[in-house]
Amino acid sequence: MLFEKIIFATDFSGTSARALDYVRRLKDAGCRQVVLLHVIDQREVHVLLAEPAGFAVAEGEYEAELLAKMRKNAETKLDDVRRWLEETGLSVKAHLIDGIPATEIVRIADAEHVSLIVVGSHGRSNISQILLGSVSENVIRHAKQPVLVVRRIEKE
Ligand SMILES: Nc1ncnc2c1ncn2[C@@H]1O[C@H](COP(=O)(O)OP(=O)(O)O)[C@@H](O)[C@H]1O
Ligand SMILES: [Mg+2]
């Protein structure tokens, strides 16, 4: 089957949730295995760490605490998505990775030999003027596999 093994990359945004529903519906196109990926954006981590840490907490301690919180939060959300997909009858292999989202999506897609990449058109920054977010745009530009881009619902 052409789309037996696919990758779905999520940032847990509303548009990602819409894309997730297409992943479920891809069962009708032969999809059986989903590589589920969330990337803890290292640029976002650096931005957050540039914020004033406050006087009470030593810098190193603050950094470790922040990273642990981000990871814990992402683990919980990724686990929810995994369970939801498994309940629809798909087999799931989840990856939680530190890095730059588009780079990791393209890399894991190759490493896992998927035949399709599913992403949302937008994510959490959801800037209304732009046609595509930078992650979806860079995935389309660099991926070897076809990319299914699920549009957000435009607000009036
Ligand atoms: N950190 C991430 N990990 C995995 N997938 C991501 C990540 N960030 C974005 N994506 C994927 O790319 C899609 C588009 O997001 P993005 O290009 O970042 O738009 P925006 O600029 O609105 O945040 C998301 O719906 C999701 O499928
Ligand atoms: Mg984004």
Contact 117, 144 (CB under 8 A): no
pTM over 0.85: yes
Q: Is 3.40.50.620 the CATH number for 5-150?
A: yes
**What does the DSSP assignment read for 89-111?**
T-EEEEEEEEE-HHHHHHHHHHH
Spell out, as residue ranges, where the chain has pLDDT lower than 70.
51-59, 155-156
pLDDT score for 51: 65
Contact 32, 1 (CB under 8 A): yes
Q: Is 47 in a helix, a strand, or coil?
A: helix
pLDDT score for 156: 47
CB neighbourhood size of 35 (10 A): 20
**Ligand (nearest to CA of 128):** 1
Per-domain boundaries in the chain: 5-150
The CA 112 to ligand 1 mean position distance, Å, reads: 20
